Amino acid sequence: MHITQLNRECLLHLFSFLDKNSRKSLAKTCHTLQEVFQDPLLWSLLNFHSPAELKKDNFLLGPALKYLSICWYSERVKVCNIEDWMKNNFQKDFCNRHENTVSGFLLEVCNRCPNLLSLTLSGCGHVTDDCISVLLKSCPNLKTLKLENCVRITDQTLEAVTLYGRSLETLHVDFCRNITQSGLERVREKRPSVMLRAERSANMIPDNKPEKK
């Protein structure tokens, strides 16, 4: 039996075992497999391991997306977590190349994936409070939000959680050095049902901008 003689359910099941690149390669072999690749049911979960992966045309964003993870553990992520005024020209050039990559991608998620249930961001140094606020408004069913080592996340995100995270059940803000203890206390007070974890965040040294002369 040729693979294309399998029914749609079997083909979707087979595709589910492949990574994004393998799915894309297989889809190029014939029209039938291309249609399977474009089936929204295949894309309920997406995992990315670097900002560069977000630019590849090997996945589909749509209402079926429920679980999204963007985790960057490369040594280069440390460059993005350096305060802007401390970066040399080489470091600034490196960061400028992908500064808006993750944020721009998340805005696409806001527009196309209203049924998102879980979002994990780790090492995403350019993601801002405003971006997370928009996402919380656009994805009202979000139940899990995990942020780790996201240097630009502040108490503004915690405030957005209390205002817009109506369905949120789990919130992690680990190693986010600009989160404060008072911000965490407000979340516990206003949203006591949320399982809140903030490993090291409120105990880290926050960024302090240099004084203007």
Q: pLDDT of 187-210, one tens digit each?
A: 999 999 999 999 888 776 666 665
Please give the tally of structural domains in the chain.
2
Which among 62, 61, 56, 67 has a CA at the least distance from the CA of 101?
A: 56
Q: pLDDT of 12-21, one tens digit each?
A: 999 999 999 9
Q: pLDDT of 38-79, one tens digit each?
A: 999 999 999 999 888 998 999 999 999 999 999 987 555 566
Which among 197, 85, 204, 75 has a CA at the least distance from the CA of 145?
A: 197
What string of H, E and C letters represents the secondary structure of 93-117? HHHHCCCCHHHHHHHHHHHHCCCCC
pLDDT at position 100 is 77
What residues make up the domain containing 31? 1-41
Same domain as 37, residue 52: no
Cα dist from 144 to 72, 90, 111, whole Å: 19, 36, 19
Identify the bridge partners of residue 145 per DSSP, sorted by sequence position: 119, 171
Same domain as 109, residue 36: no
Same domain as 35, residue 92: no
Same domain as 176, residue 90: yes
Same domain as 59, residue 6: no
